[in-house]
Structure 1
Amino acid sequence: MSGKDSVIAPSAITDNSGPSQGGWALGLFGVLVFSFTLPANAWAVEGFDPVAITVWRALLPGLLAVVILWRMRAPIPDARTWFSLSVGGLCVGVGFPLLSSVALTTINPARAAVIMGLLPALTAVFATLLGKERPSPRFWLATVAGLVVLLAYLMTRRGAGELGLGTGDLAMFAATCCSALAYVLGADRAKVLGGPRSMCWTLVALLPLSVPAGIVTALVQDPQWTVRSTVGLLYLAVASTVIGYFAWYAGLARGGIARVGQVQQIQPILTICWSALFFADELDALTFVVGVVVALLVAVGQRVR
């Protein structure tokens, strides 16, 4: 992969120009994968330090990305593309996993999931500021309505109704901001590189940091290799970081960052259901009511321009 022919120009055209319906379907699949990320992370922190989770969540998929790119004979991105890939990589490969792991040491996955409900709105904000998308007032109305429903649910959910914000809440909000920025940068590069290549090159861009950090972590850390912690770490490294982002970036590139990003409004409800199933959190009828309302608001956001 060398020479002028191996460099992708910014004007390159990929097959990500399909119908917005295809983008919505890809985005929905990505959200389904992402919805188990917080429960998997809660499993991982039972046996691994948050720093170790961050390092191995970047290193393992980064090595896998090298193999994927080699098999795809993927051209090397140009210098301008590398900047976006590096910034997006720091957000999705360092900022989000580290901050969310720290958050999950003090708050449960259900509460973290509701805070993650801010992600579609933050993604739309970053898309407006950086991606030059201009959603309509009705779009923003649907977005705000969804956020109000999610925040109201947070305040009424048993065990998570405190009005004050703790360190875990703030860390989760910062993680959500990192994820939103990474989505916008990744989707922009996916229009040029394609979803899988965009995510793979993002992970490769982190290898100069993740490889030495992985070596140091392996020498100084004393992890607890339980079944739950191991499964959680592997899910984060493979499903959340590779498979989910493949579909998600491709969906954002095809259907529009702000519009497809609204599909993620249903992710908190899915995560709460996973939390109830695997962590014995209470799941009452209100969860399903909120899920239906949020899903309807997502549908409205998809239909307005």
Structure 2
Amino acid sequence: MRAQSSATTATAITVPAPREHRSLGTGLAALGVIAFSLTFPSTAWGLESFGPWSLVAARSVLAALVAGGFLLILRVPLPERRHLPGLAVVAAGVVLGFPLLTTLALRTSSTAHAAVVVGLLPLTTAVVSALRMGHRPSRRFWAAALAGAAAVLAFTVGQSGGALTAADVYLFAALLVCAAGYTEGGRLAGIMPGWQVIGWALVLCLPLTAAGAVLALAYEPVHLTWHGVTGLVWVAMVSQFLGLVVWYRGMAAVGIPRASQLQLAQPLLTLVWSALLLGEHLTAAAPLTAVAVLVCIAVTQRS
């Protein structure tokens, strides 16, 4: 009966034309970028109430409980064994590695300086994707990607006064593990729905993150504030789950290299949020960099 109902539903759905499919995928990926652009300011808020280890563990546990609830309610079958290595890479890179490394960096780094990570992430993701999946973007694509990354790097480093800090070790490590997680997540999103990719990655990590939350909360002091709780809720519900749902779906629709270039706009959005929410100062270079980045995005989307 269920199979017949599913078949009837499937035949009633109109498959979008390729151009419509790409437009929808680009829009979903853009929503993911907007969600991610608030991650660093929200993390800074969360650190007002929680220690770095407590914040990372708590956000993963909350996101896993929500994702697990959806998986149970919808009776989603367990992933096939052949998909487990890819899900492990997603979990290591997106659920554990990137949140922990960037949170540790934000203890001593401003959000403007940390934005260099996401400024270089599109290029790194495209490189990892090319090595992992055999993608061969055009020379114009690579030239535009390099130009966009260079513009964002120059802007974010200029925002921090041009100085490199100890937090850069965490930031560049986060860059590599996140690119690997994005690549594997984008690949798996072509096989299963994107929300299931991040959902299963979160659930796989739940035993580890739950134990980590208990230990961290026992040793790190907690001082609950409105900012701290709001920051935790955002990074758990949006950055860790909902944002990745639309992001992986967008990558599956338009391809990993093209979708990754939309993230060139993420550092600028992060800097805007940092100025509005954290009171960080922005220089006059922001509009010029924004124009340069948008041009690069336009070129990569047409390459």
TM-score of the aligned structures, taking structure 2 as reference length: 0.90
Give the aligned residue type for 1:141: A
User: Residue 202 of structure 1 corresponds to which residue in structure 2?
Assistant: 201
Deviation at 1:155, TM superposition (A): 4.1
Is the contact between residue 46 and residue 229 of structure 2 (CA under 8 Å) also seen in structure 1? yes
User: Residue 170 of structure 1 corresponds to which residue in structure 2?
Assistant: 169
Deviation at 1:255, TM superposition (A): 0.4
**Equivalent residue of 2:191, what SS?**
helix
Is the contact between residue 57 and residue 93 of structure 1 (CA under 8 Å) also seen in structure 2? no
User: Residue 132 of structure 1 corresponds to which residue in structure 2?
Assistant: 134
Quote the Cα distance in structure 2 between the aligned partners of 1:215 and 1:114: 32
Quote the Cα distance in structure 1 between the aligned partners of 2:229 and 2:277: 15
Give the aligned residue type for 1:23: G
**Equivalent residue of 1:19, what SS?**
helix
Greater than 6 Å deviation, 4+ residue runs: 15-18
User: Residue 60 of structure 1 corresponds to which residue in structure 2?
Assistant: 62
Instruction: Extract unaligned runs of 5+ from structure 1.
Output: 1-14
Deviation at 1:212, TM superposition (A): 2.0
User: Residue 153 of structure 1 corresponds to which residue in structure 2?
Assistant: 155
User: Residue 186 of structure 1 corresponds to which residue in structure 2?
Assistant: 185
Give the aligned residue type for 1:152: A
Give the aligned residue type for 1:229: G
Give the aligned residue type for 2:264: Q
User: Residue 5 of structure 2 corresponds to which residue in structure 1?
Assistant: none
User: Residue 31 of structure 2 corresponds to which residue in structure 1?
Assistant: 29
User: Residue 223 of structure 1 corresponds to which residue in structure 2?
Assistant: 222
Is the contact between residue 112 and residue 156 of structure 2 (CA under 8 Å) also seen in structure 1? no
Instruction: Spell out, residue by residue over 1:83-137, the C-alpha distance to the aligned partner (whole angstroms, 9 max, x if none).
Output: 1112210111111111101110111001111332000001001100112211111
Give the aligned residue type for 1:87: V
Give the aligned residue type for 1:167: A
**Equivalent residue of 2:134, what SS?**
coil
User: Residue 261 of structure 1 corresponds to which residue in structure 2?
Assistant: 260
**Equivalent residue of 1:77, what SS?**
coil
Aligned length: 287
User: Residue 296 of structure 2 corresponds to which residue in structure 1?
Assistant: 297
Quote the Cα distance in structure 1 between the aligned partners of 2:239 and 2:199: 13
User: Residue 87 of structure 2 corresponds to which residue in structure 1?
Assistant: 85
Deviation at 1:213, TM superposition (A): 2.0
Structure 1 window deviating more from structure 2 (283-292 vs 33-42): it is: 283-292
Deviation at 1:283, TM superposition (A): 2.5
User: Residue 238 of structure 1 corresponds to which residue in structure 2?
Assistant: 237
Structure 1 window deviating more from structure 2 (220-229 vs 200-209): it is: 220-229
User: Residue 118 of structure 2 corresponds to which residue in structure 1?
Assistant: 116
Deviation at 1:150, TM superposition (A): 1.4
Quote the Cα distance in structure 1 between the aligned partners of 2:170 and 2:216: 22
Quote the Cα distance in structure 2 between the aligned partners of 1:252 and 1:189: 10
Quote the Cα distance in structure 1 between the aligned partners of 2:113 and 2:215: 33
User: Residue 281 of structure 1 corresponds to which residue in structure 2?
Assistant: 280
Quote the Cα distance in structure 2 between the aligned partners of 1:37 and 1:155: 19
Instruction: Extract unaligned runs of 5+ from structure 2.
Output: 1-14
Quote the Cα distance in structure 2 between the aligned partners of 1:150 and 1:216: 38
Quote the Cα distance in structure 2 between the aligned partners of 1:66 and 1:56: 15
Is the contact between residue 91 and residue 179 of structure 1 (CA under 8 Å) also seen in structure 2? yes
Give the aligned residue type for 1:226: T
Quote the Cα distance in structure 1 between the aligned partners of 2:283 and 2:218: 45
Give the aligned residue type for 1:36: L
Quote the Cα distance in structure 2 between the aligned partners of 1:198 and 1:155: 34
Structure 1 window deviating more from structure 2 (250-259 vs 174-183): it is: 174-183
Specify which of 98, 107, 122 is matched with residue 96 of structure 1: 98
**Equivalent residue of 2:224, what SS?**
coil
Quote the Cα distance in structure 1 between the aligned partners of 2:158 and 2:78: 50
User: Residue 142 of structure 1 corresponds to which residue in structure 2?
Assistant: 144
Instruction: Spell out, residue by residue over 1:213-246, the C-alpha distance to the aligned partner (whole angstroms, 9 max, x if none).
Output: 2233343332111111111111110010111001
Is 1:47 paired with 2:81?
Answer: no
User: Residue 11 of structure 1 corresponds to which residue in structure 2?
Assistant: none
Give the aligned residue type for 1:41: T
Is the contact between residue 116 and residue 173 of structure 1 (CA under 8 Å) also seen in structure 2? no
TM-score of the aligned structures, taking structure 1 as reference length: 0.90
Quote the Cα distance in structure 2 between the aligned partners of 1:73 and 1:212: 26
* RMSD of aligned alpha carbons: 1.6
